Structure 1
Amino acid sequence: MTAEFWDREKDFWKQGPAEAARRLDVSCLFVHAAWGILNRDRLLTAMQEVPRWKEVALSDQKATLADEVVALAYRVLASRPGQPEYRALCSTTWVNRSGEWRILLHQQTAI
């Protein structure tokens, strides 16, 4: 089951705001050193202002599952044209809402 979530996680880095809107829980929080702590609406607005990542590699992947919650922790190396590579420690908590998996919390710490 965790392979499915790693695929979702990698896709989330590459897909745009429309797909993010489908995957983010209504009470989602996003924690980022440069952007601060954003709620769902502010995150979707911020995502419209930056290009999506073209290449994404996840490593040092750890996962824990409990009933309707999946927590992921990992390192990411991401790149997009014209910008330096981005390296971060990340965590994402997915929650099952009526059969749909949604992102409840995502955190990035650049390294």
Structure 2
Amino acid sequence: MTTEATLWDQEEHFWTQGAQSARNMTAKNAVFVFPYPAGILQGDSLWREADVAQRWRSVVMSDRFLSQQGNVAALAYRVSAERGDLPVYDALCTSTYVKDDDTWLRLSHQQTPSE
């Protein structure tokens, strides 16, 4: 699998596989930025927050962009996600990954709701 395919696959798993999977693929001291009320999260607070801990039923990522410099890669995309009986969630997202040995770990993630 190419680096690009690996990163996009990992990004989709963050949305669909739940908190434990996300925790296993996240760098220590990662920083996530979510819409209000969650805000900026780091450390253990990442895994207590409902926005991170819950799985999404379906996720469609479009307008995908990848930028890579050595062991750092940034993804940018538009997401449309569904969970339970809630309205579809549309957002612009970025995630930054760092390669630690042979493993890509998420170092940051940010979501901006789009309308």
- TM-score, normalising length from structure 1? 0.93
Is 1:55 aligned with 2:54?
Answer: no
Q: Which residue of 2 aligns with 1:66?
A: 69
Runs of 4+ in 1 over 3 A off after TM superposition: 47-51
Unaligned runs of 5+ in 1: none
Give the unaligned 5+ runs of structure 2: none
1:81 matched to 2:84? The reply is: yes
Q: Is the 8 A contact 1:53 1:80 kept in 2?
A: yes
Query: Could you say which residue in structure 1 is the equivalent of 2:11?
Result: 9
Is contact 1:25–1:40 with CA below 8 Å preserved after alignment?
A: no
**What is the aligned-residue identity percentage?**
39
CA distance in 2, matches of 1:39, 1:50: 14
What is the TM-score normalised by the length of structure 2? Answer: 0.90
Asked if 1:26 corresponds to 2:28, the answer is yes
Query: Does the 8 Å CA contact 1:31/1:38 hold for their aligned counterparts?
Result: yes
Q: Retained in 1: the 8 A contact 2:79–2:91? A: yes
3-state DSSP class of the match of 1:3? helix
What SS does the corresponding residue of 1:53 show, helix, strand or coil?
coil
Verify the 8 A CA contact 1:17 1:48 in the aligned structure 2: no
What is the RMSD computed on CA atoms of the aligned residues?
1.6
Contact 1:16 / 1:47 at 8 angstroms: preserved in 2? no
- Rounded to whole Å, the distance in 2 between the matches of 1:50 and 1:13 is 9
